[in-house]
Amino acid sequence: MKYLITIVGPTAIGKTALSIALAQHFNCDIISCDSRQFFKEMTIGTAVPSPEELAAAKHHFIQNKSIFDTYTVGEYEKEALSIIAQLHQTNDYVILVGGSGLYVDAVLKGFDEFPEIDNAVRETVRMQYDAKGLPFLQEKLKELDQSYFDSLLENNPQTLQNPQRMMRFVEVGLGTGKAYSSFLNKEKNNRNFTPISIGLDAERPVIYDRINQRVDIMMNQGLLAEATELFPNKSLNALQTVGYRELFSYFEGEITLKFAVEEIKKNTRRFSKRQLTWFKGNEAIKWFDYLTNPKEIIDYIKGKSV
């Protein structure tokens, strides 16, 4: 039997440290599913594991892409499953770790229903519609999903005149890298591994305090300088990210630096709430307090994989 140990939870809860402890115990590799740690230009603001942490266990999907690359959750799913299959040839265990629920779901079960789309993608599509009108959406759907466009043209042409529906079709295509029609009446994907899902949690004030401390550490590490370098590319999808957006507003003179830092903390706290809402909906996840000794979690995993 092959197992995929999945570690999830809110940002700054300690997922990286636990994943390394488990990887060392099971002598296995770590697959990252943090959708912002993919980008090599974003280090401090995405809390990429330190060089020491990266050296402590073999990691995949850490700073393997550029912010200038187009990279979708559909492409990630395909690449991650390929690497997991390769690793399972020589080890019964692989670890998947990160706080991006959409990417976790992509690996564990694929999309047997329409996925959540990144807000940055949705906003980009809406802005393009506002600027270019319905013909842009129609041409984009034709480009992304020719067969579905043809089907609508023949059987349901009024849908092609519905801006809300058309924006949805396009944002799904752009956000997942897959045609909208591929999600219709799709059977559940089979996986060649058994997932063992672990969640780390803490009381809300503890999570918020850890987030606030992490933001202060990032600023001390040079987040301001990192954001300054990225500012000329602020319109890229990858940079529509908490920690960068707020500093871009500061650079544009809209807010003070002190206010920008407080906004980063506030928006990160909000993000952590959305993460927990997403993951708490999965009854297969076994939750542990963030201070739990890794040995207890290792014992749980061994009990599930006998």
Binding-site members are 9-16
User: Residues annotated as binding site for ATP?
Assistant: 9-16
CA angle 175–68–245, rounded 5-degree value:
75
Sequence-ordered list of residues with C-beta below 8 angstroms from that of 189, at least 6 positions apart, any chain? 109, 110, 111, 112
Q: How many whole angstroms separate alpha carbon 246 and alpha carbon 257?
A: 9
Torsion of CA 126, 130, 136, 142, to 10 degrees: 20
Looking up tokens 């009108």, which residue turns up? 133
Tell me the H-state helices in 64-203: 73-88, 101-108, 119-132, 134-144, 146-155, 163-176
Nearest to 70 by CA among 248, 242, 236: 236
Tell me the CB-side half-sphere exposure of residue 186, using CA atoms within 13 A.
17
Binding site members for substrate: 11-16
Spatial CB neighbours of 250, under 8 Å, sequence gap ≥ 6? 256, 257, 259, 260
